[in-house]
A and B are shown apart, each in its own frame.
Chain A
């Protein structure tokens, strides 16, 4: 890709330097920890060292006596305000500060407010908590054993650790297909607990003004409006007096969607002290207590004919939700969009059952670019398809090619009822294979194997389901997932777009300006994009699940078209013709058959504010608003190929090449799309080879720092090789599908498939992530270990 200096600013879609960059490269980003208010105090959270324990007593006297401490808040304090517990997005409750018990290591127990962050940290050591440790439930596979300790004894009528059962597909039909199939293969496949680990941790500055009664919260939240409404509902504060400002965010990846106890404590702290209170968590708090991702224990089965026609897939899932059910997904989908485990293949039948359980671990589960559990769905189907290829002795690319949904089958309703909007899967896979030089790679592998060297080639094809979603089916805590957009055109022809989604690095200030530019012919440099401040933007559910382009992008296109239509009427008045006599070329309306007779958007904007007499039906000015309710999700897809070399003597995996062909429909800014893909591919290397949050038998978290939770660096990542196919979404106003999570979804199976392929000489067909050197070596010995528990 050439640098953008060689591309002029496009009047719409295309390569374009980012408008947000000038402040970041000068170190002038405005992140939450950069916020400094007069008199601001600092909060710190005291956390439980135990995974499961009764709280006998909490003595805060020494902490309160610290000269720089202004307040100490405990669960008891909050209980008096009815705030010791708060609702979660999954209609459960979560403790803000523990009262009766602590239920995971790292759970919030007390909150100190002090003059500076060092004193706040010191004061934590002065709080004396007496615990009575209880046996912990750590292994999800034993959470439902008879006699297992009951974690949620705070919930009336609860006498086990069961949360929900959910199923999708046709169990009877699927069983019939399996019974009659020539080949059936089963495998236990774990998607271990991992963490989004954005580089900026979660935090907030809460400022309650006693005089005006207004609460202003700076918070690095991906969903500022949802937060505002929740604070109003939960804390009983009047919503019009709450302002949530989401400034620049240093990465979200689904970690910054929910309301964390620290935010609530900061709000209470501000109310109690009358001063702004800043709470920024440290990295160990982030890894140990905020929303983790995945933790799906899956039993997958696949049925096929001997010559490789895949007939059915069946998956049984045990979902570890931690101590509180805090997964963030639409209400009717307790297992998110896992229903797309049917994958990219034309199946006769499919069925899945998901059972959610509590364990003594941090709450969460839906995060880290999962598109609401699509990562889990894609991983399980791409792994089991590879296991089938192994058993059939078939090339994994060929097996996929034989079974991919064909272009003429779209829109395609899969066996669990999801309507995939468009795609040309064979072309996408073929392109990836061409870029990779697939046949040559297989020849090279054959030669290497003959010489005793381990080389692996992994293939993965994924279909994503993003852009939640149609409000009839999709809401979060009863708030429909439609998003608003407001577009205002100033008299001098410059524009301001206000949107409800919130960027954490995806470049919305640029891409959304480009959408407006494409519709109106105003330069993106003349379009200001406002986001993140609930006082300044329309309501919407925020950025996650790759929904910004599919939903807010659509809203933006629609609102820009409304403005264009209003402009048409104004132009018709200016030109003294009927609106039907006008045609549009980007940037101007002109008289059909007389192109010199036209008016530019700039001229129209001024006229719309002038004393020009306007016809019936138009009120002057060009402003418009809209709320976009998507008719369906969008379905980006991709074909990924990974090439690895494995050192047989040490188990060390080296990723030699990674080829990624993505189809996200129409691309607004190819440079930004590629950047999104690059980032997600690195995630795959991370999860496949090194990332995991494991626990020992006492529930101690073994992934609580960046020394333990390893993230891939520039050395583990190859130079990514990208390609594209474009099948526009038929229902999206600009045909775009969204790209934010695609690469994180598709890359882990590609890498794992490659490593397992490398180990073929050892007769290995599966081993669980992360495939660290130890795990690879053990797998080669036929003794892989469980990666979610402490290594014995």
Chain B
């Protein structure tokens, strides 16, 4: 089996301790490790120091605070999947978690770890983008808020710098909104061929708030901006959804690979946008829209 190259190990005893350890060049935080360690085994990542933050259990929580759902960065995927409050407020997260990796990996992988890995095919990025979440980044100087839509700089690159740690993701609660995540993969546990996360709030018969996140298709910041702008003020019907889907498909940048050719991926974006929007509406109005 492939094995990592030499690395030093430190275990953080507190957030402050972690921050000081992370100032070292080529230091990487590890929680679940299921993004970082596979890359270390393939020697695609060769950090000098691993900072184990698994003891920072104060960073594992899901709670409602005022008008936000706050998710600690150390929350395991399995925990977010199982959380009834989160599922009620944002079914998009339960949808996404259900199709992230597999049950054993979900025991250990964390929400924060996935976001920070910044894999273009990672599912939570689009889900958090669709819900306009905010990343809370702590450093020795305190917290800074970074909208998830500005968190990723490119594949495997985020705004997190040396001496910084993602500690929480805050999701603004939108009363009356419905959300959903739709993913197509070649096989259970595989990365998305393409996936779409949507959140909708309807007011007075038309769409008041819309968020559309795209996975694995090279969408900038995982967002379908043109589709979102189109939806605002329009009726929440099939025709609108189809048009939004076409816009989302036209404005992303899927690349042909062994998961599929470009035309198929664009098709999926269009198709899954419609399905995600449709389910979002059905969830907002389970009895049907009046």
Contacts and interface: CB of A to CB of B under 8 A. Distances in A.
Given A649-B271, A690-B186, 18 more contacts: A284-B2, A651-B264, A690-B187, A707-B190, A707-B191, A710-B187, A710-B190, A712-B187, A713-B187, A716-B187, A774-B193, A774-B260, A774-B261, A774-B264, A777-B267, A778-B261, A791-B256, A791-B260
Contacts of A651: 264
Interface in B154-207: 184, 186-191, 193
17 contacts: A118-B3, A122-B6, A651-B264, A689-B187, A702-B258, A710-B190, A715-B188, A716-B187, A716-B188, A772-B186, A772-B259, A774-B193, A774-B261, A778-B261, A785-B261, A791-B259, A791-B260
A2 interface: no
A710 B187 CA distance: 7
A787 to B, nearest CB: 10
Contacts of B184: 650, 652, 773
Interface in A244-278: none
Interface in B215-269: 256-261, 264, 267-268
A689 B184 CA distance: 14
A81 to B, nearest CB: 30
A751 interface: no
Interface string A754-792: 000000000000000000111001100000010000111
Contact of B3 (A121, A690, A791): A121
B258 A708 contact: yes
Q: Give the one of A649, A708, A713, A715 with max B CB within 10 A.
A: A649
Nearest to A691: B187
Given A649-B271, A708-B258, A777 B3 contact: no
Q: Which 5 A-B pairs have the closest CB atoms?
A: A774-B260, A715-B188, A774-B264, A649-B271, A710-B187
B3 A713 contact: no
B66 interface: no
B107 interface: no
B85 interface: no
A710 B186 contact: yes
Given A774-B260, A790-B258, A121 B2 contact: yes
Q: Give the one of A118, A122, A774, A792 with max B CB within 10 A.
A: A774
Interface string A672-695: 000000000000000001100010
Nearest to B264: A774
How would you classify the secondary structure of chain A's contact residues: helix, strand, loop or mixed?
loop
Nearest to B188: A715
B257 A791 contact: yes
A121 to B, nearest CB: 5
B157 to A, nearest CB: 21
Interface size class of A (residues with CB under 8 A): 20 to 34
A471 B264 CA distance: 53
How would you classify the secondary structure of chain B's contact residues: helix, strand, loop or mixed?
loop
Contact of A282 (B1, B259, B272): B1
Contacts of A117: 3
Interface in B1-30: 1-3, 5-6
B240 to A, nearest CB: 18
A713 B188 contact: yes
A778 B256 CA distance: 13
A66 interface: no
B258 A694 contact: yes
A283 interface: yes
A778 B264 contact: yes
A283 B190 CA distance: 17
A18 B285 CA distance: 56
Nearest to B187: A710
Nearest to A770: B186
Contacts of B189: 713
Contacts of A778: 261, 264
A788 to B, nearest CB: 11
B90 to A, nearest CB: 24
Nearest to B5: A122
Contacts of B2: 121, 282, 284
B46 to A, nearest CB: 11
A171 to B, nearest CB: 39
A777 B187 CA distance: 16
A427 B48 CA distance: 67
Nearest to A120: B3
A58 B188 CA distance: 43
B246 to A, nearest CB: 14
B261 A791 contact: yes
Interface string A705-729: 0011010110110000000000000
A157 B94 CA distance: 65
Contact of A791 (B6, B188, B258, B268): B258
Contacts of A652: 184
B187 to A, nearest CB: 5
Interface in A624-656: 649-652
Interface in A484-499: none
B95 to A, nearest CB: 15
Contact of A650 (B1, B256, B271): B271
Contacts of B191: 707
Contacts of A713: 187-189
Q: Give the one of B189, B191, B264, B268 with max A CB within 10 A.
A: B264
Given A650-B271, A690-B187, A772 B1 contact: no
Contacts of B271: 649-650
B44 to A, nearest CB: 12
Nearest to B194: A650
A408 B223 CA distance: 68
B274 to A, nearest CB: 8
Contacts of A702: 258
A138 to B, nearest CB: 15
A651 B188 CA distance: 15
B3 A772 contact: no
A507 to B, nearest CB: 28
Contacts of A773: 184, 186, 193, 260, 264
A331 B290 CA distance: 76
B54 to A, nearest CB: 23
Nearest to B259: A774
B129 to A, nearest CB: 22
A479 B15 CA distance: 68
A33 B272 CA distance: 46
A694 B258 CA distance: 9
